[in-house]
Amino acid sequence: MKIKKIIVLDRDGVINIDSDAYIKSADEWLPEVGSIEAIKALKQAGWIVAIATNQSGIKRGYYGRKQLSEMHLKLQQLLVPERIDWISYAPYLNEDNSPARKPSMGMLTAIEQRFGLCLSGAPMVGDTLADIRVAQSKNMKPYLVQTGKGVKTLATQDAVLTGVPVYLNLHAAVEAILK
Enumerate the active-site residues: 10, 12
Q: Are 170 and 145 contacting, i.e. CB atoms less than 8 angstroms apart? A: yes
Q: Are 176 and 165 contacting, i.e. CB atoms less than 8 angstroms apart? A: yes
13/91 Cα distance (integer angstroms): 17
135/124 Cα distance (integer angstroms): 6
How would you write 58-114 as a 3-class SS string? CCCCCCCHHHHHHHHHHHHHHHCCCCCCEEEEECCCHHHCCCCCCCCCHHHHHHHHH
